[in-house]
Amino acid sequence: MSVPAENKPLIGITCGDINGIGVELIIKTLSDSRMLDLFIPVIFANNKLINFYRKTLPDMNLNFITVKEASRINAKQINAFNCWDEEFEINPGQLTPAGGKYAIMSLTIASEALKAGKIDGLVTAPIHKKNIQSESFNFPGHTPYFKQLFEAKDVLMFMVAENMRVALLSEHIPIKEVAAYVTRENILSKLALLNESLKKDFGINKPRIAVLGLNPHAGDEGLLGTEEEEIIRPALKEARQRGIMCFGPYPSDAFFARAQYEKFDAVLAMYHDQGLIPFKSLAIGEGVNYTAGLKAVRTSPDHGVAFDIAGKGIADESSFRAAIFTCLEIIHNRKENGEQYQNPLKKMSASVLKNAVDEKIVLDES
């Protein structure tokens, strides 16, 4: 479905680590000319970088124009915004200082354009978390960077796919520090962000949210840990009093093994692997990482730089393409301009309602 030129969102795309699979994914995704019917792509990178990887993909047909000013962006073309002009080396599959340097240069220039409203949304290619660290960039990943850039009180790392959505209470932190993040304040804040995002970004009027426990068997009534009884359960009760339909805490192993996630519109996990392992194992379609809680829209694929296959032309662009469609869907839902976009995410409200009728979900009011 083609969108009128005046209604096409302007979507920025970062290059990620220049030695990873990011640019290959961009080329493969944008080589499908139908993408230009839906949005205006702006790749924040460098001509040499794009041409280097284009030569490794002889079957891909990618034509683009180079711009250095937002005012020069062409609505009918793929635009490459030249972020740097100096000479540099590309070493696919290798961890080099240049890989991190230009990944951050692409990210910061694109992010400033997003903050200034020069683009409507941003899709970020994978970065190497250790390789991006410097005196000027001291963040463990994209999510905390965007939180500071937009001066957001809180943000939410939110993984979405066709059949499930999983948000995280804590993100990229060591396991030994996870329990310190399980507080009443954090739970209430993340639940509020999640509830609002499901309504505003995904068009679900009355979302149902499942919350996982921290300890094995959700603490077994205090036998295996007290966080569930002392912190999580009271926080959920308070959230319900605030109008958020949340349930739990559920033991994470049984919750996913018995497909209980199908009864909910989203799941709040306590820590990274508790949510990401089942998400990447059970999600139907390609997963997308979305930063909820920002004024702007930012998405990314749910994988890393994949140095082991970089430059070989075999990277799968499905998750990157899904990240673009998710970005478009959220922009569309926020603007409420009518159903112009076909997106890869299916609303889960109907199935959730049916499951709620077929199988009673017990709500513990204690």
Question: Residue 99 is part of which domain span?
Answer: 1-154+294-335
Q: Tell me: do 301 and 180 sit in the same domain.
A: no
Residues 147 and 203 in one domain: no
Q: Are strands 266-269 and 165-168 parallel, antiparallel or unpaired?
A: parallel
Exposure b/e, 235-262, CB count within 10 A at least 16 = b: bbeebeeeebebbbbbbbeebbeeebbe
CA angle 76/291/322 to nearest 5° reads 50
Tell me: do 69 and 184 sit in the same domain. no
Per-residue pLDDT tens over the stretch 241-300: 999 999 999 999 999 999 999 999 999 999 999 999 999 999 887 899 999 999 999 999
**Position 289 in a domain:** no
For residue range 198-244, list pLDDT tens digits in order. Answer: 999 999 999 999 999 999 998 888 888 899 999 999 999 999 999 99
Same structural domain for residues 310 and 256? Answer: no
Shared domain for 246 and 120, answered yes or no, is no
Helix axis angle for 142-149 and 97-115, nearest 10°, is 40
pTM over the 0.95 mark? no
Verify that 345 and 331 share a domain, yes or no: no
Q: Are residues 137 and 28 in the same domain?
A: yes
Residue 202 shares a structural domain with residue 248: yes
Claim to verify: residue 226 and residue 78 sit in the same structural domain: no
Total number of domains in the chain = 2
Q: What is the CATH number of the domain that holds 265?
A: 3.40.718.10
CA atoms within 13 A on the CB side of 317: 17
Each residue's pLDDT tens digit, 74-91: 999 999 999 999 999 999
Same domain (yes/no): 188, 251: yes
